[in-house]
């Protein structure tokens, strides 16, 4: 494949945008080479500026669960745009999507919309602190909750990829209130809670981790966290920015049957427009301004285009059997990849839940950040570039999950498996 135009565009971009990108992992730093510049996308395919076509497994890092340029979503945006793109005043569509979201997600009565997953998690933690009157939070190594200060302590994916888990610019004062725990290690969490008795406002977690590859919780882990939080008056925050409306209508709460106190959303909920949200029971949500003292606001929050796109997306997810269909496709892909890598004698692990899947080039099970970090990055680089050259688009980092869309056909999956069979010889 030729990447002439992408290379030229990247050179131009680097002059005016740091690293040529508006979000670091796009820059291919972890895998080397020049990022492809995207021209357009439709369904299961994405096209770059040189005219190359790729089968999509990034899907904008999750939102495009029904495929790119999905007609009902696009139509909803176009119709809304004709009537004005922002008013900074309430609109009916905000209530409609709020009603639908709250009806799909277990255990929540109210929701507030923001503009990104980062904002959702940042606001959820402020709300938890305001509600409990306590300062400290627990997060897990390798979990990513957006780029706000409190979370940039051993955050996954982008931050890890660049080997700067603790970003300069985050003050010690902020960092000291974030306590770090090991994913899938209940005893570790218990210890931390006992050492900080009475000081912890909330525990925030990706209930299925997706930013250190895909790492599902081991049996009893989430239930154990729920019990610990109840026993110590700590709010349990599920960051479902990645898993919400992807793993089930009601996200991980529904799929694994564990209730959180506050749930964060992003990605799918915006249908591909910049949207985040956080939801909880009424008594917690009413602590927010204007009904309560915890301040949170946004000029473009609840933007009509974004709400129309999100509503069209959720309506569709609420109807069909798409989650089963996605599960079946992902399972098919998983089996196919396992078969060809095993036959080629490549040491690897694969994790999967619902439509999230990841391939790790290591020999031990990947259960937490430390085990994910043991993957062979040279193998991953070859794997990534081999796939790209075969017209298959996965995330340019070993710490990212693949996100399937329901637009993928079994023929696309077979092509992917075939490509991996060929690449395996070079690993």
Ligand X SMILES: *Cc1c(COP(=O)(O)O)cnc(C)c1O
Catalytic residue among 80, 134, 144, 329: 144
Asked if 37 is part of the footprint of ligand X (rule: CB under 6 A), the reply reads: no
The interface mask with ligand X, positions 398-427, x = CB under 6 A, is ------------------------------
* Greatest CA separation for the chain: 62
Among 207, 213, 266, 272, binds ligand X (CB under 6 A): 266
Asked if 210 is part of the footprint of ligand X (rule: CB under 6 A), the reply reads: yes
**Would you call 72 exposed, middle or buried from its count of C-beta atoms within 10 A (0-12, 13-18, 19+)?**
middle
3 is catalytic: no
Q: In the range 232-261, which residues lie near ligand X by CB under 6 A? A: 239, 241-242
Question: How far, in Å, are 152, 348, 394, 422 from residue 246 at the CA level?
Answer: 25, 25, 18, 31
In the complex, least distance from residue 90 CB atom to ligand X, rounded to whole angstroms: 23
In the complex, least distance from residue 240 CB atom to ligand X, rounded to whole angstroms: 7
In the complex, least distance from residue 298 CB atom to ligand X, rounded to whole angstroms: 13
Asked if 116 is part of the footprint of ligand X (rule: CB under 6 A), the reply reads: yes
Catalytic residue among 239, 261, 368, 406: 239
In the complex, least distance from residue 381 CB atom to ligand X, rounded to whole angstroms: 23
Residue whose CB is less far from ligand X, 210 or 304: 210
Asked if 105 is part of the footprint of ligand X (rule: CB under 6 A), the reply reads: no
144 is catalytic: yes
Number of residues counted as binding ligand X (CB under 6 A) = 15
412 is catalytic: no
Say how far apart CA 33 and CA 53 lie, in whole Å: 18
Report the residue number whose CB is nearest to ligand X: 117
Stretch that binds ligand X, among 31-39, 104-112, 205-213, 418-426 (CB under 6 A): 205-213
Among 29, 59, 60, 118, binds ligand X (CB under 6 A): 118
Say how far apart CA 351 and CA 202 lie, in whole Å: 28
Among 104, 110, 121, 247, binds ligand X (CB under 6 A): 121
The interface mask with ligand X, positions 143-162, x = CB under 6 A, is -xxx----------------
In the complex, least distance from residue 390 CB atom to ligand X, rounded to whole angstroms: 27
Stretch that binds ligand X, among 71-79, 94-102, 140-148, 286-294 (CB under 6 A): 140-148
Residue whose CB is less far from ligand X, 98 or 273: 273
The footprint of ligand X (CB under 6 A) covers: 116-118, 121, 144-146, 206, 210-211, 239, 241-242, 266, 276
Catalytic site positions: 144, 239, 267
């Amino acid at each position: 494949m030729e990447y002439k135009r992408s290379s030229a565009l990247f050179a131009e971009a680097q002059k005016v945008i740091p690293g040529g990108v508006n979000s670091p992992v796009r820059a291919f730093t972890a895998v080397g080479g020049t990022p492809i510049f995207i021209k357009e996308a439709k369904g299961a395919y994405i096209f770059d500026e040189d005219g190359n076509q790729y089968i999509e497994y990034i899907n904008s890092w999750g939102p495009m669960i029904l495929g790119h340029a999905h007609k009902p979503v696009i139509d909803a945006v176009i119709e809304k745009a004709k009537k004005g793109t922002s008013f900074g005043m309430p609109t009916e569509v905000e209530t409609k999507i709020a009603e639908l979201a709250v009806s799909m997600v277990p255990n929540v009565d109210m929701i507030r919309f923001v503009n990104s997953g980062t904002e959702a998690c940042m606001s959820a933690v402020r709300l938890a602190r305001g509600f409990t009157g306590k300062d400290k939070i627990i997060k897990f190594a390798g979990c990513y909750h957006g780029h706000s200060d409190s979370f940039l302590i051993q955050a996954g994916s982008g931050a890890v990829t660049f080997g700067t888990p603790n970003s300069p610019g985050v003050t010690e004062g902020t960092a000291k209130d974030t306590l770090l725990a090991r994913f899938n290690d209940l005893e570790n969490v218990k210890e931390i809670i006992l050492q900080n008795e009475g000081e912890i406002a909330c525990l925030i977690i990706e209930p299925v981790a997706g930013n250190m590859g895909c790492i599902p919780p081991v049996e009893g882990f989430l239930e154990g966290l729920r019990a610990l939080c109840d026993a110590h008056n700590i709010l349990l925050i599920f960051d479902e920015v990645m898993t919400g409306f992807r793993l089930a209508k009601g996200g991980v709460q529904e799929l694994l049957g564990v209730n959180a106190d506050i749930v964060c959303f992003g990605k799918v909920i915006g249908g591909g427009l910049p949207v985040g949200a956080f939801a909880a029971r009424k008594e917690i949500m009413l602590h927010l301004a204007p009904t309560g003292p915890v301040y949170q606001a946004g000029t473009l929050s609840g933007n009509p285009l974004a709400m129309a796109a999100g509503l069209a997306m959720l309506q569709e997810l609420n109807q069909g059997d798409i989650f089963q269909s996605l599960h079946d496709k992902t399972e098919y892909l998983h089996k196919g990849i396992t078969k060809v890598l095993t036959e080629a004698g490549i040491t690897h692990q694969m994790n999967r839940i619902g439509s999230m899947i990841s391939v790790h080039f290591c020999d031990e099970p990947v259960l937490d950040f430390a085990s994910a970090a043991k993957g062979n990055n040279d193998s991953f680089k070859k794997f990534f570039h081999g796939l790209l050259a075969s017209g298959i688009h996965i995330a340019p980092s070993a710490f990212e999950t693949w996100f399937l869309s329901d637009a993928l056909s079994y023929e696309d999956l077979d092509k992917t498996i075939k490509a991996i069979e060929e690449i395996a010889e070079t690993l």
